[in-house]
Amino acid sequence: MSEANTIALIERYIAAFNAGDSEGMLACLTDDVAHDINEGGREIGKEQFRWFNGMMKKHYREELTDVVVMVSQGGGRAAAEFTVNGTYLVTAEGLPEAKGQKYVLPAGIFFEIDNELISRVTTYYNLEDWTAQVSKG
């Protein structure tokens, strides 16, 4: 896959995220996508990814801004760095109480690309920073 096509794929994935379009995000993924959750485990497959997105929508409203996409030569890997602008809507298990707190976090995602689709999504952000922001109330 060319670098330009990989950039377009990642931009389409992020645009779908920002639009709250889970099906649009899923359309960018392989059936056996590996999803590495920040400070969590790895889930495999679109159905697991769909479930995760549903859970995220319940607890958080987020928009990614200041997005910069970087692509390896040949387009097989990519990364996106961005700012997460969010609202904590409903308390998630093991996390502070949700009261509509706003938060702003730097974050990133690493991607692998196979057969013109995303085969791995690895997300990183600073959970301590997020916890401190939402704990302030």
Residue pLDDT, tens place only, 28-62: 999 999 999 988 899 999 999 999 999 999 999 99
Q: ∠ CA(128), CA(53), CA(65), 5° rounding?
A: 60
Question: For the residues 98-111, what does the mean pLDDT come to?
Answer: 97
Q: Provide the pLDDT for residue 136.
A: 85
Q: What is the CATH number of domain 3-135?
A: 3.10.450.50
Q: Is the pLDDT of residue 137 over 70?
A: no
Percent of the chain with pLDDT over 90: 93
C-alpha dist (Å) from residue 66 to 4, 70, 74, 104, 137: 19, 13, 24, 12, 25
What global pTM score does this model have? 0.94
All structural domains of the chain with their residue ranges: 3-135
